[in-house]
Amino acid sequence: MATNTIETDLVVIGAGPGGYAAAFAAADRGIKTVLVDADERPGGVCLNRGCIPSKTLLHAARIIAETHEAKAMGLTFGEPKIDLDALRKWKNDVIAKNANGVRQLAKSRGVQIVRAWARFENSTTLLLSSQPGGEPDQGRLTYRHAILATGSLPARIPAFDIGSPRVIDSTGALDLPDIPKSLLVIGGGYIGLEMGTVYAALGSEVTVVEMTDGLLPGADRDLVRVLANRLKKDFKNIYLSTKVTRLEDTLKSVRVHFEKADNATGSAPPPTEFDRVLVAVGRTPNSKNLGLENTRVKVTQRGFVEIDNQCRTADEYILAIGDVAGEPMLAHKAHYEAVIAVEVIAGVKGAAKDARAIPAVVFTDPEIAWAGLTETQAAQQGIAVEVAKFPWGASGRATAIGRNDGLTKFIVAPESKRILGVGIVGVNAGELIAEGTLAIEMGATAADVGMTIHAHPTLAETFMEGAEIAATGSTTHIYRPPR
């Protein structure tokens, strides 16, 4: 057992997008900071096993799709040939390049990175181990403040853990073990649909099973409808209101048994064999085996660490950010909270979370993005709103690129026309949503956006024209008879 002790002002546990952002922000303020993470490479799940590798593969999938779509323009490239080893190397090189960038930024700022598993001995001391739950063979670390940024893990369902390498989670799917002829995706959320999009483009026959009555539960139905129409063409089957009850390893495949969800009508699909099964039923906070019971930190029944609007836990020495501190479980939310937590530690007056909107993006094809209040949330909360929609069929740019299967949607206050929510489905929706988030954050009205000059021809014009409809009921490229 090591007896060395590291002393620091701040320790950040977890080197993901929230953790390293917190460490760097603290170092920039002159706070002596140590960043602890067990991974070989910094960057957390997002960089190593989530956001970055999945978007790298989704970009490859988009290129493949475009080679097929180009036939309508009179361009024929032939069937794409996929070198899986080269694609895997490209993805891994992207990860390595980004991880090396994080290392260099840490070095430049004087942030010490300690590769170890951390466990709280008490509110001001960490035990550092080379193995999870092991002896503190790397010593102890004492601190004045700690920021917990341990992120989340793929949710597991014990019934699906049959010990078969053919049953994988999102981490396994990103490793690209092969291109299965048939793939079942359990879960119609963003992870399942994104990975399903990748494998369908690579040549797999993809089937998705979702226990609720629609894909992307919680997302705006107008937006999901556009995506679902596309996925019906790209995927072999989409089973809604359906459960997976049992998996059987046949050694050559996985036999899957289905049943209809509670109160659902119709018959369940018959038992079917798949080459691989991807379990994508969400994520769970990574708050176990951290020794939190040795502190005053409080944890909810779902495993989230309780924090206030300053990211403080019930323990005066410990703050928490990102996935482990509650939903939405998004990397950019973790980054935002990282800045707040460091400001609180530094004693910045008024430091607190006060964002009006946190954007969310599903990187399928087409992409879905939204920020602020949704139409469903407004109805549930009894908030009176007006809704305006601009279909991309009226966009010259969308038509020019052969992708007018989009929609831009505004939720505004009836009297003031202040923008309360924005939803977009279409190519590059994830890039376009930033304007909506800014509009909500700045308290802009629909007229503010509608009178802002947007370059022509661009997809961003759909945002301007949608705002015009919200403000006046009319816009240049959609005719509506006078009321």
DSSP string for 74-115: T----SPP--HHHHHHHHHHHHHHHHHHHHHHHHHHTPEEEE
Residue 1's pLDDT is what? Answer: 52
Q: Which amino acid is at 188?
A: G
Residue 202's pLDDT is what? Answer: 96
Q: What is the 3-state secondary structure (H, E, C) of 277-305?
A: EEECCCEEECCCCCCHHHCCCCECCCCCE
Residue 337's pLDDT is what? Answer: 98
Of 181, 151, 157, 179, whose CA–CA distance to 169 is shortest?
157
Three-state DSSP class for residue 172: helix
Under 8 Å between Cβ of 280 and 206: no
pLDDT tens string for the chain (483 positions)?
A: 556 899 999 999 999 999 999 999 999 999 999 999 999 999 999 999 999 999 999 999 999 999 999 999 999 998 899 999 999 999 999 999 999 999 999 999 999 999 999 999 999 999 999 998 888 999 999 999 999 999 999 998 999 999 999 999 999 999 999 999 999 999 999 999 999 999 999 999 999 999 999 999 989 999 999 999 999 999 999 999 999 999 999 999 999 999 999 888 889 999 999 999 999 999 999 999 999 999 999 999 999 999 999 999 999 999 999 999 999 999 999 999 999 999 999 999 999 999 999 999 999 999 999 999 999 999 999 999 999 999 999 999 999 999 999 999 999 999 999 999 999 999 999 999 999 999 999 999 999 999 999 999 999 999 999 999 999 999 999 987 766
Residue 184's pLDDT is what? Answer: 98
Secondary structure of the chain: what % helix, strand, coil (to 5)?
35, 25, 40
Residue 2's pLDDT is what? Answer: 58
Residue 3's pLDDT is what? Answer: 62
Residue 416's pLDDT is what? Answer: 97
CA dist 9 → 24, 163, 174, 317, 441 (Å): 14, 44, 37, 11, 33
Residue 130's pLDDT is what? Answer: 93
Under 8 Å between Cβ of 274 and 248: no
The Cα 289–Cα 121 span in angstroms is 12
Which of the following is catalytic: 59, 335, 456, 477?
Answer: 456
Question: What's the pTM?
Answer: 0.94
Counting Cα atoms < 13 Å in the Cβ hemisphere of 314 gives 12
DSSP class of residue 418? B
Bridge partners of 260, per DSSP, are 242
Residue 483's pLDDT is what? Answer: 61
Per the annotation, the verdict on 456 as an active-site residue is yes
Going through 149-271 in order, the beta strands assigned E by DSSP cover: 152-154, 167-168, 182-186, 205-209, 237-239, 242-249, 254-260
Domains of the chain: residue spans and CATH? 5-153+284-346 (3.50.50.60), 158-281 (3.50.50.60), 360-472 (3.30.390.30)
Three-state DSSP class for residue 177: coil
The Cα 221–Cα 388 span in angstroms is 14
Burial class (CB in 10 A: 0-12, 13-18, 19+), 289: exposed
Bridge partners of 390, per DSSP, are 408
Residue 186, both tokens: 């359990």
Under 8 Å between Cβ of 193 and 364: yes
Report CA Rg, the chain: 24
